Amino acid sequence: MTNSTGGAGTAVGWSAAGGSVAAPESYFAQFLDTLDLTPIGEDAFAGRHPAQVGPRTFGGQIMSQAIVAAGRTTELPLHVKHTHFIRGGQVDADLEYHVTRLRDTRNTANRQVSVQQGGEVVALVLLGYQTDARNPLEHGDPMPQVSEPETLPSIYDLFGGYEDTIRQFVDAPHPMDMRYTNDPAWVMKSKGGSLDFNRVWIKTDGDLPDDQVLHDAALAYASDTTILDSIITRHGLSWGFDRIMAATLNQSIWFHRRVRFDEFNLYATHSPVAAGGRGTAHGQFFSRGGELIASVTQEGVLKYFPAKARS
């Protein structure tokens, strides 16, 4: 429930202006630790925060932990997740994930996860599970033509020279290896450009265990990192440069195929509409081989406060 790449945390060291920011090795380990939920009752689990946090719990963390909690109550594959964020999570206390088994059949299951903290509901998550079936009616959008991830700069390279402007992102934990195929918002802003889409290769910054639940959880975490960017870059704006407040209201993910998220997947996003103080963005995850793996829709509160003209 935050904007773009997450909330601010402990400062990260960087090189001289124009150089690249150093990547702490502990971020991925911290991320894995947050997915190791502690049972606290029947179908109830506690989820920890990472060592480096922002002012509120990152929405991607809530979604990833909810997927793990629900996934521990069924062996069927996840095919859809809907999340409604109700209030911001406090980062100085664990979150509780209470799973309700709504339905179980041989091939389908439905779960509701109530994410709670201090006796209040932080988020509600509905998840659907279904075994895959053979169907001659299969198709998928083609993957956009982009450069290979190994040829692109890392997120830390892209931070170089912008450390003071986008400090909240430099200071945030980065458990994902992210390779933008286009200029990120802050670079685009410095060039005076705009763009109505965003495309970035993403994978975990380390190997995941051979557990599909964890790969689904990692995709959910990553889905909340860049999806709102295409709303502001369409208007030539950027986090850091411009006074923008963003918070996720709700998000849905449809898992079309099994994903390995310790391998690069392309996250292609665009925003069809912004109105009423809210913005909506759609996203698609493509495998390295070009298959459409998952689809995302996210709505957020988005407020922009233009700088007052000097007289």
Within a domain: 16: no
Structural domain for 291, as ranges: 26-132+144-304
CB neighbour class for 291 (10 Å; exposed up to 12, middle 13-18, buried from 19): middle
Within a domain: 139: no
Q: How many domains does the chain have?
A: 1
Rounded CA-CA distance 93/71 in Å is 23
Within a domain: 7: no
Within a domain: 15: no
Rounded CA-CA distance 11/225 in Å is 19
CA distance readout (Å), 94 to 32, 45, 229, 235, 240: 15, 10, 29, 38, 29
Q: Is the distance from CB of 158 to CB of 170 less than 8 angstroms? A: no
Rounded CA-CA distance 9/91 in Å is 11
* Amino acid present at 193: G
Within a domain: 3: no
Give the three-state DSSP class for 63: helix
Within a domain: 2: no
Within a domain: 199: yes
Q: Is the distance from CB of 201 to CB of 176 less than 8 angstroms? A: no
* CATH number assigned to the domain comprising residue 119: 2.40.160.210
Per-residue pLDDT of the chain (311 residues; tens, 9 = 90+): 333 333 322 222 223 333 455 556 689 999 999 999 999 999 999 999 998 888 899 999 999 999 999 999 999 999 999 999 999 999 999 999 999 999 999 999 999 999 999 999 999 999 999 999 888 888 999 999 999 999 999 999 999 999 999 998 888 889 999 999 999 999 999 999 999 999 999 999 999 999 999 999 999 999 999 999 999 999 999 999 999 999 999 999 999 999 999 999 999 999 999 999 999 999 999 999 999 999 999 999 999 999 875 54
